[in-house]
């Protein structure tokens, strides 16, 4: 038997209501803040990620699914979507439309990581990017406000917002020099990742989670103490806007973003409910990324959230109203009733109702069991007697109540009943 690839998952129908709940709530809240959906290809030229994410990052060096296509070109499955969105922004000249472009996306990403709990090789992200000429810190604050109301709406409340500034090309070199000097005496005794990062991307030493390195890391200087005037002012204004919006946060001086192109504001939303992989949302500012891709000078700010982790935090029962069971299941007894049931299902569907029936003849008891299994809201019972009387029996599967409904009145009566008791399970 051929099995699915390690690190991938089949998302079965029973799980779909919870996925939809997250996706649809994101669409609703992001649109409230003026974001429009974009869908980019799941594969791109490898060079796109090498140039933006950074050749030296773990993502590009070790985790990308890279392959040559039949023409010999090197392509990669996207390991994240910001690079693709910025490429599309430039290639389609979206900057012409408006001074600020707000885009969001939802879809699969691919990284060849060691499979472990909560880590898949095909995983799903929802993210948003604000691209344009302005780097007003209100952009950051507004996006975080949007995220807060989105997470509140899903009932994901046990979370903490962490913020930091990682400076800019003017002030970061001085900090990195200070960081290297502080690390110099102890780096030899630190973990392998730290020693490698020390050489190629010193900032990421701060990311290390190895227990024995934490004492050294806690003693290192912080970027926020090295910010240039403009960066300090930006960070202060951003935090003031958060205060005004009554959004609580914690300054996390060790917070850096994993990708090379970030600068200034960095943030994460974390939750202790998630265990070791506790990041729910990660984001930051990436002014200058568009220029790296040959685009016009563009400021950028965005985030990505992991849908699989959101699912772990979505409260039990949060998606029940999105049950995908049929509104009406048609149970028939006998060949004439079968023909009538098929005609009625057609009538109901045209009127906008979801109707289900089985083409295999069953005893009524078996049909009711089937309706129950399909999570049908109601069952319409049709036998020879009902056909000659011109009326059917409608059974509410939740309460067990039954009533007779005239054939001519079927759709109208269903609408009436549903006003009182809902169209679907709720
Ligand atoms: Zn700066
Ligand atoms: Zn380390």
DSSP string, 370-395: HHHHTT-SEEEEE-HHHHHHTEEEEE
**Closest-lying ligand to the alpha carbon of 264?**
1
Q: Does domain 13-171+227-313 have CATH number 3.40.50.300?
A: no
Q: From ligand 2's centre to the CA of 217, what distance in Å? A: 9
Q: From ligand 1's centre to the CA of 241, what distance in Å? A: 20
Separation of alpha carbons 232 and 157, rounded Å? 30
Radius of gyration over every alpha carbon of the chain, rounded to an integer in angstroms: 28
pLDDT score of 185: 92
**Closest-lying ligand to the alpha carbon of 167?**
1
Q: From ligand 2's centre to the CA of 203, what distance in Å? A: 12
**Phi, psi for 158 (deg, rounded to 5):** -85, 80
CB 68 within 8 A of CB 45: no
**Closest-lying ligand to the alpha carbon of 204?**
2
Q: From ligand 2's centre to the CA of 258, what distance in Å? A: 14
CATH top-level class for 323-421?
alpha beta
Separation of alpha carbons 307 and 23, rounded Å? 9
User: Which of the 8 DSSP states describes residue 116?
Assistant: B
Per-residue pLDDT of 136-185, as tens digits, reads 999 999 999 999 999 999 999 999 999 999 999 899 899 999 999 999 99
How many residues are recorded in the chain?
A: 426
Separation of alpha carbons 402 and 356, rounded Å? 19
**Closest-lying ligand to the alpha carbon of 232?**
1
**Closest-lying ligand to the alpha carbon of 193?**
2
**Closest-lying ligand to the alpha carbon of 228?**
1
pLDDT score of 84: 97
**Phi, psi for 394 (deg, rounded to 5):** -110, 125
Q: From ligand 2's centre to the CA of 218, what distance in Å? A: 12
CATH 3.30.930.10 in the chain: give the residue spans.
Answer: 13-171+227-313
Q: From ligand 2's centre to the CA of 157, what distance in Å? A: 31
Q: From ligand 1's centre to the CA of 296, what distance in Å? A: 21
**Closest-lying ligand to the alpha carbon of 217?**
2
According to DSSP H, which parts of 133-223 are helical?
A: 137-153, 172-183, 192-200, 214-218
pLDDT score of 323: 62
Determine if residue 306 is left, alpha or beta; phi over 0 gives left, psi from -120 to 50 gives alpha, anything else beta.
Answer: beta
Q: From ligand 2's centre to the CA of 388, what distance in Å? A: 80
CB 85 within 8 A of CB 105: yes
Q: From ligand 2's centre to the CA of 336, what distance in Å? A: 75
Separation of alpha carbons 61 and 309, rounded Å? 25
pLDDT score of 426: 42
pLDDT score of 352: 92
Q: From ligand 2's centre to the CA of 144, what distance in Å? A: 30
Please, is 365 exposed, middle or buried when counting C-beta atoms within 10 Å of its C-beta (0-12, 13-18, 19+)? Answer: exposed
Q: From ligand 1's centre to the CA of 178, what distance in Å? A: 15
Q: From ligand 1's centre to the CA of 258, what distance in Å? A: 19
Q: From ligand 2's centre to the CA of 62, what distance in Å? A: 18
Separation of alpha carbons 301 and 305, rounded Å? 14
**Closest-lying ligand to the alpha carbon of 169?**
1
pLDDT along the chain (426 residues), means of 10: 93 91 96 97 96 81 93 96 96 90 97 81 97 95 97 95 94 92 92 89 86 91 94 97 96 82 92 85 92 92 96 86 80 94 95 92 91 92 93 92 92 85 58
Separation of alpha carbons 197 and 230, rounded Å? 28
Q: From ligand 1's centre to the CA of 280, what distance in Å? A: 27
CB atoms within 5 A of ion ligand 1 belong to 167-168, 170-171, 228, 231
Which tokens in the block code for residue 68?
């040559």
The pTM is what? 0.87
According to DSSP H, which parts of 186-288 are helical?
A: 192-200, 214-218, 229-244
Separation of alpha carbons 94 and 100, rounded Å? 9
Q: From ligand 1's centre to the CA of 218, what distance in Å? A: 23
E-strand ranges in 90-134 read 100-110, 122-132
Q: From ligand 2's centre to the CA of 53, what distance in Å? A: 21
CATH 3.40.50.800 in the chain: give the residue spans.
Answer: 323-421
Q: From ligand 1's centre to the CA of 142, what distance in Å? A: 22
**Closest-lying ligand to the alpha carbon of 206?**
2
For 252, the enclosing helix (H) or strand (E) is none
pLDDT score of 258: 66
Separation of alpha carbons 385 and 44, rounded Å? 63
Q: From ligand 2's centre to the CA of 179, what distance in Å? A: 14
**Closest-lying ligand to the alpha carbon of 208?**
2
Q: From ligand 1's centre to the CA of 35, what distance in Å? A: 28
DSSP helix/strand/coil, 301 = strand
Average pLDDT over the chain, rounded to an integer: 91
pLDDT score of 388: 93
Percent of the chain scored above 90 by pLDDT? 75
Separation of alpha carbons 197 and 214, rounded Å? 15
**Closest-lying ligand to the alpha carbon of 224?**
1
Separation of alpha carbons 307 and 118, rounded Å? 11
């Amino acid at each position: 038997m051929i099995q699915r690839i390690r690190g991938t998952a089949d998302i079965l129908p029973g799980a779909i209501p919870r996925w939809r709940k997250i996706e649809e709530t994101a669409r609703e809240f992001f649109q409230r803040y003026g974001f429009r959906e974009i869908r980019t290809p799941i594969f791109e030229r490898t060079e796109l990620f090498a140039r933006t994410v950074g050749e030296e990052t773990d993502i590009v060096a070790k985790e990308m699914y890279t392959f040559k296509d039949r023409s010999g070109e090197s392509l990669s499955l996207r390991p994240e979507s910001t690079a693709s969105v910025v490429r599309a922004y430039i290639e389609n000249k979206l900057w012409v439309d408006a001074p600020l472009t707000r885009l969001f996306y939802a879809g699969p990403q691919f990284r060849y990581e060691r499979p472990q709990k909560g880590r898949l090789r095909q995983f799903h992200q929802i993210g948003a990017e604000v691209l344009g000429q302005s780097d007003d810190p209100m952009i950051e604050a507004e996006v975080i406000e949007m995220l807060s109301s989105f997470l509140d709406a899903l009932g994901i409340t046990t979370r903490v917002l962490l913020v930091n500034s990682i400076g800019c090309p003017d002030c970061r070199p001085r900090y990195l020099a200070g960081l290297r000097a502080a690390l110099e005496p102890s780096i030899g005794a630190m973990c392998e990742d730290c020693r490698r990062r020390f050489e190629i991307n010193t900032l990421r030493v701060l990311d290390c989670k190895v227990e024995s390195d934490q004492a050294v890391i806690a003693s290192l200087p912080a970027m926020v103490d090295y910010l240039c005037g403009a960066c300090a002012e930006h960070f202060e204004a951003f935090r003031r806007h958060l205060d005004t919006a009554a959004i609580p946060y914690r300054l996390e001086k060790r917070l850096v973003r994993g990708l090379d192109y970030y600068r200034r504001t960095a943030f994460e939303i974390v939750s202790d409910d998630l265990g070791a992989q506790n990041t729910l949302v990660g984001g930051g500012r990436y002014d200058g990324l568009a220029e790296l891709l040959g685009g016009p000078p563009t400021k950028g700010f965005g985030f990505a959230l992991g849908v699989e982790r959101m699912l772990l935090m979505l409260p039990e029962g949060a998606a029940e109203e999105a049950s995908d069971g049929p509104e009406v299941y048609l149970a028939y007894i006998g060949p004439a009733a079968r023909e009538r049931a098929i005609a009625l299902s057609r009538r109901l569907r045209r009127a906008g109702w979801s109707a289900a029936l089985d083409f295999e003849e069953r005893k009524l008891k078996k049909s009711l069991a089937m309706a129950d299994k399909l999570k049908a809201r109601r069952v319409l019972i049709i036998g020879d007697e009902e056909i000659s009387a011109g009326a059917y029996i409608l059974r509410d599967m939740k309460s067990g109540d039954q009533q007779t409904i005239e054939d001519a009145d079927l759709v109208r009566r269903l609408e009436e009943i549903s006003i009182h008791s809902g169209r679907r399970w709720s």
